[in-house]
Amino acid sequence: MNQQETFNSWIKDYRALLFKVVRAYTLNNDDANDLFQEIAIQVWKSIPNFRGESAVSTWLYRIAFNTAIRWSKKEKRNSNGKQDIDKSAHLLEYKPDNHDERLDWLYYQIAQMNEIDKSLALLLLDGYSYKEMAEMVGISESNVGVKIYRIKNHLVERSKTYENHGV
Amino acid sequence: MEFDELKKVWDEQNKKTMYTIDESALHSIITSKKKGAIHKAKFMEYILVGTNLLAGSAIIIAHFVKGKDLILDLVMAVFMLATAAIILYFRSQRLSGKDKFDRSIQGDLEHGLSDARYVVRMSKTMQYYFVVIATLTVFTKGFENLSFTLILIGVFAFVLYASTWEHKWYVNKYNELKKLKKTLHDE
């Protein structure tokens, strides 16, 4: 497969993975489009470097996280004067129908976390091992363990508030 | 909720479509940039060829109809007509070169960059060209009347100043494409 075919195939097969990262790092549709576009560009340029030493999903998660973290920092810097470049087309359309409000709440909670915790929360919920998380996020396995313990507790505690108020 | 329940909520989303995606949108973003660069090149060519042909022809007609015997008039007219011809040649070169770009994202990006570079070079060359034309005009028309000469110089200075802003705009558009290419390939 050439670069274009690989790109199309990855975007098609792993869109759910990319959407999760996009949604966890953004709070509105415009930002989601902006970030997805950044990730798509990074995925495109990463294709020649992919040696098949890790699973495609792991590779894409790593690219998506790195891009999302860079994007978040850039957004904070440019929040007073957003650039209009590359805003001509929207790549994503959020479909709010038929969704679980608890999932919205969960994404909101993840969005409030710091960059590393966001990544770990997504990987935790997607069932990755501590070892895989450590490789993808770039911190030690023991550090992952500590952070995951806190993230789990935080989410469970916050969910009690959610249940009490019926949000 | 316990964590297992949260996980179940999370896993449910894999069975649903949260977003629809326009798979060709990324390509169309680059295509729109390419079209923008082509449009600017075409617009610049039409304007420059049109004005040079009209002005050059008008000077020659006036020269013979009014019977003025000023050699600078003819020099300027020939210079303008030659410029129109050269731009038409550059245009044909630009158009014949478009076949070397394929219709992939990369090909469209290279095509856009090529035309944007062309526009930037043309815009810079036209600034020098304008200085020559302005000088010839002052020499052929201006010195009949001092106040008219001063007005003429003022207008030309303003046009030259405005053209530097226009040139900067083209350079910015070119740099945007270069930045996109760098993002795609070099980082």
What digits encode the pLDDT tens for the residues B72-97?
A: 788 888 888 998 999 999 888 888 87
Angle, CA B141 vertex, CA B139 and CA B147 arms, to 5°: 100
Provide, as residue numbers in chain B, all residues whose Cβ is less than 8 Å from the Cβ of A91: 21-22, 25-26
Would you state the pLDDT for residue A80? 46
Residue B106 has pLDDT above 70, yes or no: yes
Q: Which amino acid is at B148?
A: F
Inform me whether the C-beta atom of residue A102 falls under 8 Å from chain B C-beta atoms: yes
SS (H, E, C) A98-131: CCCHHHHHHHHHHHCCCHHHHHHHHHHHCCCCHH
Which of A37, A126, A155 lies at the smallest CB-CB distance from B6? A155
Would you state the pLDDT for residue B13? 76
Whole-number Å distance between alpha carbons of A51 and A6: 13
**Yes or no, beta carbons of A93 and B20 under 8 Å apart:** yes
Which tens digits make up the pLDDT trace of A117-152?
Answer: 999 999 999 888 998 898 888 889 999 999 999 999
Which of B13, B23, B104 lies at the smallest CB-CB distance from A11? B23
Would you state the pLDDT for residue A145? 92
Please name the residue that has the structure tokens 């997504």: A122
Q: Which amino acid is at A70?
A: R
Give B146→chain A minimum CA distance, Å: 48
- For the stretch B82-116, what's the b/e string if a residue is b when 16 or more beta carbons lie within 10 angstroms of its beta carbon? ebbeebeebbeebeeeeeebeeebbebbbbbbbbb
pLDDT < 70: residue spans in chain A: 1, 76-99, 163-167
Whole-number Å distance between alpha carbons of B138 and B159: 14
What is the percentage of chain B residues whose pLDDT exceeds 90? 6
Token output for B174: 């070119």
Q: What is the mean pLDDT of residues B132-153?
A: 78
**Yes or no, beta carbons of A11 and B183 under 8 Å apart:** no
Whole-number Å distance between alpha carbons of B74 and B67: 12
DSSP string, A42-104: HHHHHGGG--SSS-HHHHHHHHHHHHHHHHHHHHHHHTTS---TT-SS--EEE--TT--HHHH
Whole-number Å distance between alpha carbons of B86 and B97: 17
Better-predicted residue by pLDDT, B145 or A38: A38
User: Model-level pTM?
Assistant: 0.49
Would you state the pLDDT for residue A150? 94
Inform me whether the C-beta atom of residue A148 falls under 8 Å from chain B C-beta atoms: no
Please name the residue that has the structure tokens 């996980």: B7
A1 within 8 A of A30, measured Cβ to Cβ: no
- Average pLDDT across chain B, whole number: 80
**Yes or no, beta carbons of A95 and B17 under 8 Å apart:** yes
Which A positions 24-43 lie with beta carbon below 8 A of chain B? Answer: 32, 36-37, 40-42
Would you state the pLDDT for residue A151? 93
Inform me whether the C-beta atom of residue B12 falls under 8 Å from chain A C-beta atoms: yes
CA distances from A165 to A33, A107, B69, B158 (A): 32, 18, 94, 67
What is the percentage of chain B residues whose pLDDT exceeds 70? 82
Whole-number Å distance between alpha carbons of A34 and A106: 22
